[in-house]
């Protein structure tokens, strides 16, 4: 394990050791505290011996996000005891329920606009982010992808959700909204944690503005063609002081926007071919007049037949915004 991580875990463990020693245990808690001290000392010895972070059963690396949450873990996820497995499944089930409750309503509409989305975690919880927020005669649409998967990514996803929900009520111009969110995200994450994200605002007259923080191209689908809109800035959380230029669009009645995460483009088939942005583009071209629900099911049908027997390895989210009148 890298030296910098070693010193991080050593500090963490020594801090925990101090805290345990400062407790004056009463009654039953005495043996618990004593056992915890033994476990902390054992973890410090593993650091010394160079076996910290290695599963005692299979000798592979233990998942980094689990070690960060609990430096005392000694087994990888595949080698937990049955009791630990059951506890973990219960926790993940709860986390998945909390995450589902953060999603916008399934059949969402707002003054001439309709939105439909598909949200599918690769496992129980997802690092993908999707939200729709009405604010001051317009609405915000947000779709993003937190780097990584699993519990750590899902916690950052709910953090983003809370940040944007709070900022949305303040009626800030879009570039300020994203800059604030970026700084808050930078302040509350560790190095290497970031999120790619599209944040947009749409009005009843079809006017749309958006920022794409390092996210995959969004597609403007209209009868005259499909237009690709590339990222306008770097991912959120990468640099604390950066600008997020805002782009403008105008959607006529019948036009749509398609947003997606890399669970779509990075889907592989059995031959090892990637689905890719080009396939999303040509798919959109074949469904320019589709209702958002049809667009979604066409996308899903196409990726299911493309990936057929391959297992979904990444979180997948699609969002279609449609200007109905």
Q: Residues in the site for Zn ion, rule: CB under 5 A?
A: 55, 57-58, 76, 79
List, in order, residues 6 or more apart from 168 with CB less than 8 Å away.
133, 135, 140, 177
Tokens coding 311: 């297992």
- Interatomic CA distance for residues 315 and 266, integer angstroms: 10
* DSSP assignment letter at 124: S
Q: What token pair was written down for 188?
A: 């509350």
Instruction: Give the residue with the Cβ less far from Zn ion, 78 or 294.
Output: 78
Residues 124 and 93 sit within 8 Å (Cβ to Cβ): yes
The answer to whether the CB of 199 falls within 8 A of the CB of 180 is no
The smaller minimum CB distance to Zn ion, of residues 70 and 230, is found at 70
Q: Which is nearer to Zn ion, 16 or 74 (CB)?
A: 74
Q: How far is the CB of 131 from Zn ion (least distance, A)?
A: 37
The nearer residue to Zn ion, 74 or 215, going by C-beta atoms, is 74
For the bound state, the minimum distance from the C-beta of residue 77 to Zn ion, rounded and expressed in Å, comes to: 8
d(CA 167, CA 162): 9
Q: How far is CA 177 from CA 230, 293, 319, in A?
A: 20, 30, 21
Q: Smallest distance from the beta carbon of 74 to Zn ion, in angstroms?
A: 9
Q: Which is nearer to Zn ion, 58 or 72 (CB)?
A: 58
Q: Where are the alpha helices (DSSP H) in the chain?
A: 3-22, 29-49, 64-69, 82-101, 150-168, 174-188, 262-265, 276-285, 292-307
Distance of closest approach, residue 55 Cβ to Zn ion, in angstroms? 3
CA distance 204 to 111: 6
Least distance in angstroms from the C-beta of 68 to Zn ion: 18
C-beta closer to Zn ion: residue 74 or 118: 74
Shortest Å distance, C-beta 50 to Zn ion: 17
Q: How far is the CB of 67 from Zn ion (least distance, A)?
A: 13
Indicate the residue among 72 and 252 with the shorter CB distance to Zn ion. Answer: 72
70: tokens are 């609990």
- Residue 77 per-residue DSSP state: G
């Amino acid at each position: 394990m890298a030296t910098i991580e070693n010193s991080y875990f050593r500090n963490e463990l020594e801090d925990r050791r101090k805290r345990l020693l400062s407790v004056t245990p009463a009654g039953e808690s005495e043996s618990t505290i004593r056992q915890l001290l033994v476990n902390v000392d054992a973890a410090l010895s593993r650091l010394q011996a160079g076996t910290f972070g290695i599963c005692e059963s299979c000798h592979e690396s233990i998942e980094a996000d689990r070690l960060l949450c609990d430096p005392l873990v000694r087994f990888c996820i595949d080698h937990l005891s049955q009791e630990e497995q059951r506890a973990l499944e219960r926790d993940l089930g709860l986390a998945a329920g909390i995450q589902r409750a953060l999603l916008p309503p399934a059949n969402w509409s707002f003054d001439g606009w309709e939105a439909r989305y598909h949200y599918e975690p690769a496992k129980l919880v997802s690092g993908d982010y999707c939200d729709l927020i009405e604010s001051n005669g317009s609405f915000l649409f947000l779709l993003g992808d937190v780097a990584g998967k699993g519990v750590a990514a899902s916690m950052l996803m709910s953090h983003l959700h809370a940040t944007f929900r709070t900022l949305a009520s303040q009626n800030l111009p879009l570039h300020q909204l994203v800059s604030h969110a970026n700084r808050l995200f930078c302040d509350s994450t560790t190095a290497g944690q970031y999120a790619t994200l599209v944040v947009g605002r749409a009005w009843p007259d079809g006017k749309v503005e958006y920022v794409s923080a390092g996210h995959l191209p969004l597609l403007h689908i209209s009868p005259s063609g499909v237009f690709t809109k590339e990222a306008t800035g770097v991912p959120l959380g990468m640099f604390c002081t950066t600008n997020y230029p805002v782009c403008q669009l105008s959607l006529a009645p019948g036009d749509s926007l398609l947003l997606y995460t890399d669970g779509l483009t990075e889907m592989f088939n059995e031959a090892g071919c990637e689905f890719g942005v080009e396939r999303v583009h040509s798919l959109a071209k074949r469904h320019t007049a589709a209702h958002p629900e049809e667009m979604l099911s066409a996308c899903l049908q196409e990726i299911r037949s493309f990936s057929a027997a391959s297992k979904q390895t990444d979180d997948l989210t699609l969002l279609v915004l449609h200007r109905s009148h």
